[in-house]
Structure 1
Amino acid sequence: MSHVPSEPRARTAGDDRPHARVWPARVPRAIHPPQTSLWFNLEVSARRYPHKPATVFFDRVTTYPELLHQAERIAAWLAACGVQRGDRVILFLQNCPQFIAAYYGILRANAVVVPVNPMNKADELGHYITDPQARVAIAAADLAPALCAADAALPSGQRLHHLLVLHYRDAMPDDAFDGDAVPVAWRDWLGTRHPLPTLTEGRVADWAEAMACTAPLPPHVVGPDDLAVLPYTSGTTGLPKGCMHPHRTLMHNAVAAAVWTNGTAENVGLLVVPMFHITGMVAGMHTSVYLGATSVIMPRWDRDLAGRLISRWKVTHWTNIPTMVIDLLASPHFDRYDLSSLIFIGGGGAAMPAAVAQRLYDQFGLRYVEGYGLTETAAPSHHNPPDAPKAQCLGVPFIGCDARIVDPETLQELPVGEAGEIVVSGPMVFDGYWQRPEATAAVFFERDGRRYFRTGDLGRRDEEGYFFITDRLKRMINASGFKVWPAEVEALMFRHPAIAEACVIGVPDAYRGETVKAVVVLRQQARGTVSEADIIAWCHEHMAAYKAPRIVEFVDALPKSGSGKVMWRLLQEQARAAASAPVGA
């Protein structure tokens, strides 16, 4: 007779946590993802679906076998260039079909992808060559000169040996520029054919050369524990750190994202979140390839292009940044678009304003489903149940994930409702920071036989097991001893009818130590009629005095990263630099 324990089992992912009551129907608590490299997902989908669109790019369809062929040619070219198992290869381009072909080609060559944000300039790019010791790069033609300039500034012996250059135009239909498919502002960017740049000590090749490569494919020898991708994360200090993700961590969340959303091969996803970013990479690209689904790719965000693509291709799944939804709904042409095909819409990176979420539900019956994760956790470590989401909430611990709220000092678990640091453990957590053993040791601790990652985010959980973010540990404002969490103030300010966007930062104050400043984008109709003083007075009416911004600055737009997140650190650094500058400087 089996033994029935008198006490609950050890708290593994989902056994006795409060969110068991809201766990999505038909979704398992843990999964057994394929024990292979990610490469096999593309190979399997190409064999299963010989005529199915893998990608759509300005109405140009690439089938799964075509995508597989391109990836194999990239792998052969890389092998001919001397790339071997475990070598790191830079990928420096915007969303396009070639991104997927190059990414999977690098994996097929047993190498490691180093995705780099296309917004980086030459002064920043040298680190992405030297830190991973990359000797080969694949870049878009408009970005390649900056990479070459960064390479030229490096010492001999640390430079690139090979650079493969591609044009987005080559993945577009011949008549792409005849109608209105390409936004006017993008025509020069996408249509210009750039000459090949020059490497100081290396060779530059065109994409067509790689596609024509007849060199043999190397044996595919990597498995789930081999390093697959090295995405970089900035953190709060120092140079960006590479996050070591083996095939198994990405595989887990690619499969889990499909399971969580009841995904099938019939999914049609709008892939606009950048693929260099962990969310677009995993929940967008990898999940779609695993399912054999179709990705409708946007190289950048444009609200009217998004509206046309959703309507034209009957998009069913759209993972995004909430600012994209806000922008699309504000389009003067919105009534022309048909969003009725959407069955899943969600994302993260910022809280979705309650009023916008309500409009989505009232108008389309869509519940906006927010999730949460970091580069270190291969995108989601938390996600709202699609049928039971809570507003401005991280959700519940994702499939296979165990998450806690702990005291940042003692690391002891805190009770329901109390704010502390979010820590996670599970098969999606990265192995550590590339060549940074001290930084790796600082973000991990062991408890009850499990290895927990310290996210650096403060949050709380409610009685049902849903997690809510309070703020970044490093972002807290200390005003006269009062702790102010900017995210909370921003959420309150979103209720003001004149405010389109707001970013709250801490700035030096001779009396309070720090004081609260809000950088605000007003709605178009409010500009010129609402003053900074009006906003400050409203804030004092709607929040505790110590939280209310004492300084408000109006701007036309907030700076955003390539993944659409507001760059609060940049605003804070600028404000602090201005405060410390000599008078009259």
Structure 2
Amino acid sequence: MFTRHYPFWPPHASKTLTVPKTSLCYNLDVAATRYPGKPAIVYYGEVIDYTRLKREVEALAGYLHDVCGVRRGDRVLLNVQNSPQFIIGYYGILRANAVVVPANPMLKADELRYLMQDSQANTAVFGQENLPEWEPLLADGTLQHGVSAPYSHYLPAEPAVGALPDIVQARTVPLPDAPASATLIGWSAMLESGHAAPELTVGSDDLAVLPYTSGTTGAPKGCMHTHGSVMSTAAAQAVWMPSGGDRIGLAVLPMFHVTGMQSGMNVPILAGETSVVMTRWDREVAAQLIEKYRVSAMGGITTMMIDFLANPDVEKYDLSSLRYLSGGGAAMPQAVAERLKKVIGLEFIEGYGLSETIAPTHINPPHRPKQQCAGIPIFNTDARVIDVETREEKGPGETGEIVVNGPQVFKGYWRRPEATAESFIEIDGKPFFRTGDLGHYDDEGYFFITDRLKRMINASGYKVWPAEVEAMLYGHPAVSEACVIASRDPHRGETVKAVIVLRRDAVGTVEPEDITAWAREKMAAYKVPRLVEFVDALPKTATGKVFWRKLQELENTKEKA
């Protein structure tokens, strides 16, 4: 067991944590029983207390069970922006004894179809704005049961802020007719349909969430997480960052992603706290909400924090209620961290985790954080650094692949036994997950991420898997070969670049912007190559594979020139 970091452990916490052996649904039951009238969600001024939250969760669970035929272990897609509907949708699916498949609201029809087919789902809860992407799936039978959610359902008569996203203000639109064998219903009608929730039969060891990730292969893979693995990091975060009373969190990180899912929803519900939910990031609105609702905790990615500080009026707001600023995904630049400390008076607490670990394996101790640092292994987590080739353990300051063992590690990839087997290594008789991230730890046991063993692009916190984008680009009739790499971007951190060999008959007739425009119709916006370069040939390895690393190195050299 790695213990080098123990001398720097948060003084308020024990070094181990007993994780509740109950379902996530039980957390909501407990909170609603203990704090029935306490705000669970504040949505642009609308307050939803725990009693109402539980009631609407059970209404959705009953509808899914009685009308959609959802049974224990079935998968249901949740394709919704941050909103009360995401939280109700998530817990409603779990309360129906089913499994949540969180889907990025930016996905297009073909991407959604893949998730439905791979997860073997036939039911989805989706934001009203995504109805055009779901209609083809309803027509071809991929989607058999759908619930359409307009966010304006939860808007108060007088919102607490003036600037609201268009999709939040949009009123309910008429739904198209569903095929005879399918059902499609609006949010209000679903809540009023009067179906009682079925008996809760799932427990700690049952599947709860199936977030999708990709990697070196083009097809995204579902990460199998149980109620227990999700509970482990929710419980850990609730203890790691002590609230000192009733914590009020600003939920701005996307909840379809594991970090926002935990920090903005599962942790607060476990602790019976309040989440002030934002559907879209807006630095002015964020400051207004912090001041109005006395927000004490805010999690965000680096680009959000940079934008927040760039607001010329930021120091006009009363931000004194804030006690914790945290985030991950990309290292926080020292200059930005220092500016946060000057303006808000707080250290930025960085952490590290993956979809496979349902958020953190490492967090910085709040009393002693280090900058540009992933932190130290959290409760019950054993982390090591191994040589990529020999798999021997490395010592302090020596770079290798970071591997982790702990209660938060997933049970494997959905229907991918070979990929699962390849992702684990045994050390001291325990299975360790191979993160694919390169790094080292220092003499005090703090871990630092330095590079990636696996191909991945981090664009404003969104993980882009090059092989997946390449596979989609091959669908363009003009593309003969494609290689996707990262290019530095002053705002997004990294952006997607496609290096393409055109078919002979397309040379001179297709421009880079044509590829980009086509991609916008086929894939989520954050995956779209913003940079496209045409070349005569791609470099190849001795075995004939595209030598992507050489192209990446060339791109990095250009940026330094």
| TM-score normalised by structure 1 residue count | 0.78
Q: Find 2:107's aligned residue among 92, 112, 120.
A: 120
In 2, are the aligned partners of 1:141 and 1:196 still within 8 Å (CA)?
A: no
The one-character-per-residue Cα deviations of 1:252-297 (angstroms, maximum 9, x if unpaired) are: 1101000000136601000010110000111221000001000000
* Counterpart selection for 1:45 from 17, 22, 31: 31
State the Cα deviation string for residues 182-235 of structure 1 (Å, max 9, x = none): 34xx23653243221344551101112221232332111111000001111122
Structure 1 window deviating more from structure 2 (26-35 vs 56-65): it is 26-35
Q: Structure 2 CA distance, aligned partners of 1:309 and 1:103?
A: 24
CA separation in 2, counterparts of 1:47 and 1:253?
23
- Using the TM superposition, name which of 458-467 and 232-241 deviates more: 232-241
Q: Check conservation: 2:251, 2:263, Cα contact below 8 A.
A: no
With over 3 angstroms needed to count, the CA separation of the structure-2 counterparts of 1:393 and 1:197, relative to structure 1, is farther
The answer to whether the 8 A contact 1:53-1:64 is kept is: yes
Among 332, 350, 355, the alignment partner of 1:352 is 332
In structure 2, which of residues 119, 122, 128 is the aligned counterpart of residue 135 of structure 1? Answer: 122
Specify which of 166, 178, 182 is matched with residue 163 of structure 2: 182
2: CA distance between counterparts of 1:219 and 1:171? 28
The partner residue of 2:149 within 148, 161, 166 is 166
Aligned to 2:391: 411
Distance 1:77 1:220 in 2: 14
**Amino acid corresponding to residue 151 of structure 2 in structure 1:** Y
Shift of 1:517: 8.4
**What amino acid maps onto 1:400 in structure 2?**
N
Deviations 1:114-149 (A, max 9, x none): 110001111211111101111111111111220222
Match of residue 190 from structure 2 = 210
Q: Specify whether residues 202 and 355 from structure 1 end up closer, same or farther in structure 2 by C-alpha distance, changes over 3 A only.
A: same
SS where residue 104 of structure 1 aligns? helix
CA distance in 1, matches of 2:308, 2:415: 42
Between 1 and 2, higher relative CO (CA 8 Å, sep ≥ 6) is seen in: 2
Q: Where do 1:434-449 residues align within 5 Å?
A: 434-449=414-429
SS in 2 for 1:34: coil
Q: Which residue of 1 aligns with 2:238?
A: 258
Structure 1: where are the runs of 5+ without partners?
A: 1-10, 477-485, 491-502, 506-513, 524-560
444-453 vs 218-227, which deviates more?
444-453
Aligned to 2:412: 432
Is 1:394 the equivalent of 2:380? Answer: no
Asked if the contact 1:264–1:293 (Cα under 8 Å) also holds between the matched residues in 2, the reply is no
**1:164 Cα offset (Å):** 0.7
> Per-residue displacement from partner, 1:301-320 (whole Å, max 9, x unpaired)?
11111111111111101111
Q: Identify if the C-alpha distance between structure 1 residues 282 and 310 changes in structure 2 by more than 3 Å, giving closer, same or farther.
A: same
Q: Which runs of 4+ in 1 moved over 4 A?
A: 198-201, 569-572
Corresponding position of 2:544? none
TM-score normalised by structure 2 residue count:
0.82
Structure 2 equivalent of residue 579 of structure 1: 535
Equivalences for 1:234-249 in 2 at 5 Å? 234-249=214-229
Structure 2: gaps of 5 or more residues: 467-482, 493-519, 539-561
CA gap of 1:454–1:313, structure 2 versus 1, over 3 A, is same
Residue number in structure 1 paired with 2:432:
452
Which residue of structure 2 aligns with residue 101 of structure 1? 88
CA distance in 2, matches of 1:566, 1:469: 27
* Count of aligned residue pairs for this structure pair: 484
Rounded to whole Å, the distance in 1 between the matches of 2:439 and 2:371 is 15
Deviation string, structure 1 residues 448-507 (Cα, Å, up to 9, x no partner):
12110000000111100011001111359xxxxxxxxx99xx9xxxxxxxxxxxx9x9xx
Q: Which residue of 2 aligns with 1:545?
A: none
Q: Which residue of 1 aligns with 2:45?
A: 59
**1:295 correspondence with 2:251:** no
Residue 111 of structure 1 corresponds to which residue in structure 2? 98
1:307 corresponding residue in structure 2: 287
Query: Conserved in 2, the CA contact under 8 Å of 1:110 and 1:222?
Result: yes
Query: Within 2, Cα distance between the matches of 1:522 and 1:380?
Result: 25
Q: Which piece of structure 1 moves more, 196-205 or 283-292?
A: 196-205
Matched letter for residue 167 of structure 1: P
Shift of 1:522: 7.9
Letter in 1 for 2:128: A
The structural deviation recorded for 1:51 is: 1.2
AA paired with 2:211?
A: P
Structure-2 separation of matches of 1:188 and 1:268: 25
